């Protein structure tokens, strides 16, 4: 049976994004300026899957993701479908352990994996397709400077700054 992947578009304070969901959970949350290119990239990563627009069905997910863009420190409570090699998943799970508002370096992650060569870690981080929720923006250079980010250094810098604030958009909803 052909897997069905549903997707929807969103617009946030950091730009347009695509959200794609499988039966397991969110498998993509990616920023970009060209919808056609974003959708083509998504379809090429999912050969054999039926990729269908479900703007109405994913409206709640899109709203949660828009909120997470402005408040990346908050837990969106969205199930994730991390697709990658075992090594990539290991790196991504390490990213999930980095507390909001804190950073680590590529070298520190490599050392946790038992190597001094951070190139494989950097490649795994760069292949992450779930922005913010798998917080690759929390990884910086050893000297503390902000390095590349799949969705642009401007977005990375903004997300790190936003995590320094404590306001919770969910606080008002918890009565």
Q: Residue 162's CB: how many other CB atoms inside 10 A?
A: 21
- Stretch 105-134: mean pLDDT: 94
What residue spans define the domains of the chain?
Answer: 4-70, 86-162
pTM for this one?
0.89
For residue 172, pLDDT beyond 50:
no
- Give the C-alpha distances (Å, rounded to integers) separating 120 from 68, 77, 111, 138, 169: 28, 29, 12, 17, 36
Q: Supply the pLDDT for residue 116.
A: 84
**Residue 76: strand, helix, or coil:** coil
Beta pairing partners, 105: 140
What value, to the nearest 5°, has the Cα angle with vertex 62 and ends 152 and 5? 90
Q: Which residues belong to the active site?
A: 136
In this structure, what token pair is assigned to residue 155?
């977005």
For residue 72, pLDDT beyond 90:
no
| CATH class of segment(s) 86-162 | mainly alpha
What pLDDT band is residue 148 in, cutting at 50, 70 and 90? confident
**Residue 170: strand, helix, or coil:** coil
* CATH code linked to domain 4-70: 3.30.160.70
pLDDT tens per residue, range 89-117: 999 999 999 999 899 999 999 999 998 88
For residue 174, pLDDT beyond 70:
no
């Amino acid at each position: 049976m052909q897997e069905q992947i549903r997707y929807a578009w969103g617009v946030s304070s950091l730009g347009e994004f695509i959200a794609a969901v499988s039966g397991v959970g969110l498998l993509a949350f990616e920023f970009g300026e060209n919808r056609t290119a974003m959708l083509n990239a998504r379809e090429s990563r999912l050969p054999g899957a039926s990729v269908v627009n479900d703007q109405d069905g994913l409206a709640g997910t899109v709203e949660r993701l828009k909120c997470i863009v402005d408040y990346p420190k908050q837990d969106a409570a969205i199930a994730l479908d991390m697709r990658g090699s075992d090594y990539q998943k290991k790196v991504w799970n390490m990213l999930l352990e980095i507390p909001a508002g804190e950073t680590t370096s590529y070298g520190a992650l490599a050392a946790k994996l038992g190597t001094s060569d951070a190139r494989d870690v950097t490649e795994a981080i760069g292949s992450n397709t779930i922005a913010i929720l798998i917080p690759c923006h929390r990884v910086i250079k050893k000297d503390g400077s902000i390095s590349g980010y799949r969705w642009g250094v401007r977005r990375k810098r903004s997300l790190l700054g936003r995590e320094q604030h404590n306001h919770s958009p969910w606080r008002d909803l918890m009565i």
